[in-house]
Amino acid sequence: MQGVLRSTEAAAYTVHEINAPTGIIVREYVSASGKVFGVAWQGPWPPDMRQVLANYFDTYRQASQAQANSHPGRRPVVIDQPDLVVQSGGHMRSFIGRAYVPALLPAGVTAETIQ
Q: What is the pLDDT of residues 3-26, one digit of tens each?
A: 888 999 988 999 999 999 989 999
DSSP letter assigned to residue 23: S
User: What are the structural domain ranges in the chain?
Assistant: 4-103
Sequence-ordered list of residues with C-beta below 8 angstroms from that of 97, at least 6 positions apart, any chain: 40, 41, 42, 46, 77, 86, 87, 88, 89, 90
pLDDT at site 1: 58
Q: What is the pLDDT of residues 31-86, one digit of tens each?
A: 999 999 999 999 999 899 999 999 999 999 999 888 888 876 677 889 999 999 99
| pTM of the shown model | 0.90
Neighbouring CB atoms inside 10 A of 83's CB total 10
pLDDT at site 23: 92
- Reported in sequence order, the residue ranges of the chain that DSSP labels E, i.e. its strands, are 4-9, 13-19, 25-31, 36-43, 77-81, 84-91, 94-100
